[in-house]
């Protein structure tokens, strides 16, 4: 158990943007504020109440759809602002999942949940806001080899960035993670980040994320802890001796393959419009179990090159090396 605790305890320390309005949220509370739908219609005979123990009874085509009109900005979308220690009080807003792949290779995933994603603006124009969606799962991953941290993955929209562990900023042994305003994409440095082109992070452009050391968020203080076996797959909660010293959490919700938010609204919906093929309100994301927890490379397999960066600047192209 000692080495497991060590891997878990290296969870990145995150900083939310100083102007953030949508903070980390309680995972279970999302179920209280949504209703299961398929093709915009309520799923008949779905569990009532829906909770983390029975969520897996719903199919992969299900969208956990807001009971409220999200354009009215209901309070539950804003999540829980962390206290001075970085804890989201009365809200379990993270999940730590450890996959021992054998041969000394272990991947530790640190998943962060937000009730809402504000998608940002084009060229800073407020009226050109798109990519918003209910529910938001983002993550870091640390790959260990023979007990030593090797690389850190930062998820960003449809892709992300990987850095050598020795390269990233740290507080003690814990990597630093900067969470972008509204979109909650994860970055290794503060500042502006253009994300038009996957894997080519520039310090400014048409679609910018913004990060700074605003509010401390420590996921270890408000998390569920699990091991993962890809055969099956099987998730197993760690017992009460885990770092948070809490009872073993629910596990069935990790097998839910559906979406944690509304289905993209049709263009006939007065709330919706599209710009260059991008919707103002997009579909909610899949959950932790669908984030390639048994990936071969540090990066998920999505058709993009996996660059293992060794410098901390928002620069793309040739830095680092391919795994």
Q: What is the 3-state secondary structure (H, E, C) of the chain?
A: CHHHHHHHHCCCEEEECCCCCCCECCCCHHHHCEEEEECCEECCCCCCCCCCCCHHHCCCCCEEEECCCHHHCCHHHHCCCCCCCCCCCCCCCEEEEEEEEECCEEEEEEEEEEEEECCCEECCEEEEECCEEEEEEEEEEEEEECCEEEEEEEEECCEEEEEECCCCCEECCEEEEEECCCCCCEECCCEEEECCCCCCCECCCCEEEEECCCEEECHHHCEEEEEEECCCCEEEECCCCCCCCCCCCCCHHHHCCCECCCCCCCCCCCCCCEECCEECECCCCECHHHCCCCCCCCCCCCCCCCEEECCCCCCCCCCCEEC
pLDDT (0 to 100) of residue 196: 63
pLDDT (0 to 100) of residue 291: 97
Model confidence pTM above 0.85? yes
- Chain mean pLDDT for the chain: 90
- Give the rounded percent of residues in the chain with a pLDDT score beyond 90: 76
pLDDT (0 to 100) of residue 275: 76
The encoded tokens of residue 254 equal: 């990790």
Kindly report, residue by residue over 236-293, the tens digit of the pLDDT.
998 644 444 455 689 999 999 999 999 999 999 999 988 777 899 999 999 999 999 9
**Residue spans per domain, the chain:** 2-322
Q: Which is it for strands 174-179 and 13-16: parallel, antiparallel or unpaired?
A: parallel
Stretches where the chain sits below pLDDT 70 are 1-3, 121, 123-128, 195-206, 239-248, 313-323
């Amino acid at each position: 158990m000692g080495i497991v605790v060590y891997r878990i305890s290296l969870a990145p320390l995150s900083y939310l943007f100083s102007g953030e309005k949508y903070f980390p949220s309680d995972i279970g509370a999302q179920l209280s504020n949504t209703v299961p739908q398929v093709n915009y219609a309520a799923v008949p005979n779905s569990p009532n109440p829906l909770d983390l123990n029975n969520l897996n009874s719903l199919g992969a085509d299900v969208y956990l759809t807001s009971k409220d009109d999200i354009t009215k900005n209901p309070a539950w979308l804003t999540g829980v602002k962390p206290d001075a220690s970085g804890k989201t009080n009365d809200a379990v807003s993270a999940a730590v999942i450890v996959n021992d792949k054998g041969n000394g290779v272990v991947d530790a995933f640190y998943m962060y949940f937000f009730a809402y994603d504000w998608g940002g603006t084009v060229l800073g124009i407020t009226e050109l806001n798109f990519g918003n969606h209910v529910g938001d799962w983002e993550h870091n991953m640390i790959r260990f080899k023979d007990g030593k941290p090797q690389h850190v993955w930062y998820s960003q929209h449809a892709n992300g960035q990987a850095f050598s562990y020795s390269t990233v900023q740290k507080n003690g042994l814990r990597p630093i993670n900067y969470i972008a305003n509204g979109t909650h994409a994860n970055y290794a440095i503060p500042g502006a980040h253009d994300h038009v082109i996957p894997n080519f992070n520039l310090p400014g452009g048409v679609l910018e994320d913004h990060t700074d050391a605003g509010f401390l968020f420590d996921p270890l203080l408000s998390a569920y802890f699990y091991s993962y076996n890809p055969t099956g797959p099987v998730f197993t909660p760690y017992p009460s001796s885990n770092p948070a010293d809490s009872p073993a959490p629910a596990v069935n919700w990790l097998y839910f393959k559906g979406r944690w938010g509304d289905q993209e609204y049709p263009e006939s919906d007065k709330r919706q419009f599209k710009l260059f093929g991008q919707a103002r309100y997009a579909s909610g994301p899949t959950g932790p179990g669908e984030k390639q927890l048994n990936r071969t490379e540090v990066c998920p397999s999505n058709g993009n090159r996996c660059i293992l960066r060794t410098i901390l600047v928002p620069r793309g192209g040739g830095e680092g090396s391919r795994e």
